[in-house]
Structure 1
Amino acid sequence: MPGLAILGAGIFAKEAHLPAIHALGGDAPPLLAVYSRSEKTAKDCAQHATSLGITPAPAIYHDGDESSNLDALFARADVTSVIVALPITLQPAIILKALAAGKHVLSEKPVAPDVASGIELIKIYQEKYKHNLVWRVAENYEAESGFRAAGELIKADRIGKVTFFKATVTNHIEVTNQYYKTPWRTVPEYQGGFLLDGGVHTIGALRTVLPHPLTHLSAFASLNFEYLKPHDTIHAVVQSDGNFHGIVELSFGAPTKTNPTIDQYVITGTNGWITLNFKRIDNKSVLRLVLHHVVKDGEGKKVKEEEEVMDLPVKGVQAELASFLEKVAGQETMNIGDPLEALRDVAFIEAGLNSNGVLVDLIKLVTEGK
């Protein structure tokens, strides 16, 4: 029977991937193994799996014993798919190692630490493994029903032709933050720090919602808090190939938990607008979508304005995992997780970090790596 393994037993594996596996129930293959560089972390993750009701307990693999290291895990014929949730700089090598071992791969975003290494990684996959193995990138914002619903409403012309947009996401990161305390994030060996690790979510959401790809940007990046090196803030003006433009504000350097700006996405068209923002309602996370549009009569004259509010559950990790497993089984209901699309998210962040006000061609960056 085909089985699943998790490579990386950190916070997100325990708080997101394990609950997603449990929520899928019989629609997910059994979780057969958990790997971490340290035995303690692997044990903690496996114990958390059983506490959620995932049975039997997954086997533990770690680097401290050759009989139970990563090579030993890859040698198991019953482990057919792996979720890779390791530090950003380690992921490309582990993805290739998993593919070489004949495993289907769902790897956490970002697809790679930078555009050049992402291009090379995708090239190797397409040339050597694509014909018989599935590799998808886990960008859960792309899978969120709220962002996907907004994209469908825009395609259905509910706000007319898109004219401009704005995405504002600000975060206050303290040194006590559980993600900051992760050693590989405290002293990041990759560009952008939290801007790369978390900023790709915002760009993934925009490419899911907007009807045309983003093609150019001019941006400035800065560091406002020394412990968030190398950068914590990007402000960008962006152009699309659909002849509309917008503003993207990304910061992990807000000074307080309470921010003067509400995190949200606003897409404006010739006939209305859509807003999206995350909320907690009845102790559950939802993505609130507000559609405000003009109603016209048969002669095209404005009659009134209407507003619809939808609170859609936040289940992106579960949805991305389900989509990956469907693809492995030879089916696909949601076309998500394409590594090339995930590379566009990395390209946006890389361009934003390096632009310094100069216009950057995002399409050229993705195809040429410069």
Structure 2
Amino acid sequence: MIQELGNYYNYPTYTTLEVERHSEIEFPAVTICNLNSLSKSLVLNDSRVENYYLSIGPREIFGLYNEFNWSDPFYEQNGFFRNRTVEDILLEHKGLHFGLFNSFMFDQTAYLDSEEYFSVELKPNGPCLTSNKTKIFKTSYTGSEYNFVMWLNVDRENSYFGQWLGEGVQFTVHDKNEDPHFQGSSGYYVEPGHEYYSALRKYTYKYLPEPFRATPTEFCRESFVNGEQYFSTKCWKECYVRYIHEACNCIDFDYKGEFYGNSKMKTDCHCPPACSSTRYEVTLSSSIFPSDFYNDFLLKAVNEFDRDFYRKNFIVIHIYFDELKTTIVKQSPVYGSSVEIFGNLGGQMGLFLGASILTITELGEFLGFVLLFIWKKCKNGNRTNFSEEKNVNATLEEM
């Protein structure tokens, strides 16, 4: 009984899997980043500028830059100390809407104006494009011929010092309310000269609120202090902003939260899982793009003389649902209510009492049989001894 009560107040749970099928499903957000987004033709051609971008480049080449002489008037004249805006940053980077995006389709409908469907967001490796911020895509179709099909041009000739030594595109599929940079997933890195097929599967995770634990050590959280729905990535971003503020008394200009030195989150930067969250699993495969035949055809169509133009610069990405369904991973309580524990306790007590009466009865019956067996054994033994003694006496008399 004590063990049962202890188990009840540990609030045990079990996990179930449910599959919900849809006739129409909302398409997730897709974030696309050029791994080398700085444009050599747009950056000032000066060794001091090169040295600056080299100093903030990949860690693999960290230390190859020269020391800065920040007293040089050149830095102030060229805006190195000026408060910069998103527009200032974009002036130095390769085009996004009319550069990286060559064309895209959704469910076999061509959309030429990516600005209507993709918004610019600054990430640590540069400006990126994210869908589903202004207009929501929904689909009733499955398969690689439908949903997202994007032609991307990385413009390798204009590549410059960046955050990566490689060339290509990083893309992440995520819930529209989540920030992929703080989601713990780096997404997928793809290179030019290939056509990629990304099959999606949607998973929704539902945890029980406190006092039930979402993990062995944490409770899930349902909302922020202001009542808005809680997302763990927003919490981590708030922590990141706090760290930057404490380090340099400044805030990332792209941050649109309400942090002004008075964070709503706990000071220990504790970001538990959300009670409800959505993740997308991607299965990625690829093929060479384009084939030799289509390569020649496309080069003639655009009057391009570099035979490797498409294979050096272009990436085609298909992002699509395999099935219109959601797999729901749901946490449920072992005890639905306090009534169940009394039912369990009553059942155990009844079983215990019933077992005790049966045990006493069976033990008494067993002892009775043992005593009866011993009595019969002794009685038969006396008769045998008397019979043997009589036979011996008779033999002696005959002699």
Query: Which range, TM-score by smaller chain?
Result: under 0.3
Instruction: Tell which structure's C-alpha radius of gyration is larger.
Output: 2
TM-score of the superposed pair, with normalisation by structure 2:
0.20
